[in-house]
């Protein structure tokens, strides 16, 4: 058998090289296709809207009208500020020329024989106000035997068993009221202070009623010098015979200083 030499020319390429080239071309083709699609506007956007019965109206934007209107408005505002629109409405204080001349004033003539008005004033008298009423002392308490006398301050209720309690009982027995008892208490408070041993060295008066001399009270009892009841009995008899009531004796004592 003869030998046949077969030369196979084979070029070895790196693994994956053809695949990379092929992939690059495919990616480039896809990018070109996408750009073509992006540049091509959709039919819905490019096609003008269809109006029934009339053709679309082209709109024009006038760019010079607005600045012109703004200029006119600015000029009008400046004129209003500079020129007073009310200057013609103010009143003019200047008087007309014919008013400046002196005009003859009006005169009125009164008839000489006009009756003169007469006035008569009614007569009057000035009367002084009456004087205020005099201040009157409280009226004297009326005694049971009649006759008035000066009132005395209230004596109050005496202590049981005291000389004043004995005097109150005797005053009540004579039919005299509390006013007479008050006068009696005031009278003998002034004379002796209701002390049965009180003695006036200058006059010789003695006891609660200041009997002058003290021995006069012996008519009421032999114990006149030491018994308050005997002295009170004699004293009430003396007052009744000379002044009718204790308030009568009190009034006299207030007037002259003794009774």
**158: closest CA among 148, 167, 150?**
167
pLDDT of residue 23: 46
pLDDT of residue 22: 45
Q: Is 78 exposed, middle or buried (0-12, 13-18, 19+ CB in 10 A)?
A: exposed
* Confidence band for 92, pLDDT divided at 50, 70 and 90: low
Name the DSSP letter for residue 211: B
Whether 235 and 208 have beta carbons less than 8 Å apart is answered as yes
Q: Give tens-digit pLDDT for 41-89.
A: 554 444 455 544 555 555 555 567 788 888 888 888 877 776 666 655 5
> What dihedral do alpha carbons 208, 209, 210, 214 form, nearest 10°?
-90
Q: Give tens-digit pLDDT for 99-155.
A: 555 556 666 565 555 555 565 667 767 777 888 777 654 444 444 434 456 689 999
pTM of the model: 0.45
CA distance 209 to 203: 14
Largest CA distance in the chain: 218
pLDDT of residue 21: 40
**203: closest CA among 216, 218, 194?**
216
* Confidence band for 9, pLDDT divided at 50, 70 and 90: very low
**Token pair 């607005």 is at which residue?**
66
Helices (H) then strands (E): counts for the chain = 8, 0
User: What are 206's strand-pairing partners?
Assistant: 199, 211
Q: Give tens-digit pLDDT for 212-241.
A: 999 999 999 999 999 999 999 999 999 999
Q: How many residues does the chain have?
A: 259
pLDDT of residue 111: 57
CA distance 185 to 170: 13
Q: Give tens-digit pLDDT for 165-222.
A: 999 999 999 999 999 999 999 999 999 999 999 999 999 999 999 999 999 999 999 9
């Amino acid at each position: 058998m003869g030998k046949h030499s077969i030369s196979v020319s084979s070029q070895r390429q790196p693994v994956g090289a053809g695949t990379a080239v092929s992939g690059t071309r495919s990616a480039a083709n896809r990018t070109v296709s996408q750009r073509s699609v992006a540049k091509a506007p959709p039919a819905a956007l490019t096609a003008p809207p269809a109006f029934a019965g009339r053709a679309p109206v082209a709109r024009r934007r006038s760019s010079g009208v607005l600045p012109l209107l703004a200029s006119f408005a600015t000029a009008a505002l400046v004129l209003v500020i500079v020129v007073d629109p009310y200057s013609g409405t103010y009143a003019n204080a200047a008087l007309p020329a014919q008013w400046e001349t002196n005009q003859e004033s009006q005169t009125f003539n009164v008839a000489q024989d006009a009756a003169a008005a007469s006035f008569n004033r009614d007569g009057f008298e000035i009367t002084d106000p009456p004087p205020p009423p005099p201040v009157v002392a409280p009226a004297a308490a009326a005694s049971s035997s009649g006759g008035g006398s000066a009132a005395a301050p209230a004596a109050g209720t005496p202590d049981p068993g005291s000389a004043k309690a004995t005097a109150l009982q005797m005053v009540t027995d004579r039919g005299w009221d509390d006013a007479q008892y008050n006068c009696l208490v005031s009278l003998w408070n002034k004379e002796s202070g209701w002390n049965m041993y009180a003695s006036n060295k200058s006059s010789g008066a003695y006891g609660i009623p200041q009997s002058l001399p003290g021995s006069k009270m012996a008519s009421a009892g032999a114990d006149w010098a030491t018994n308050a009841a005997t002295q009170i009995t004699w004293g009430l008899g003396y007052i009744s015979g000379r002044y009718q009531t204790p308030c009568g004796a009190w009034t006299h004592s207030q007037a002259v200083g003794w009774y």
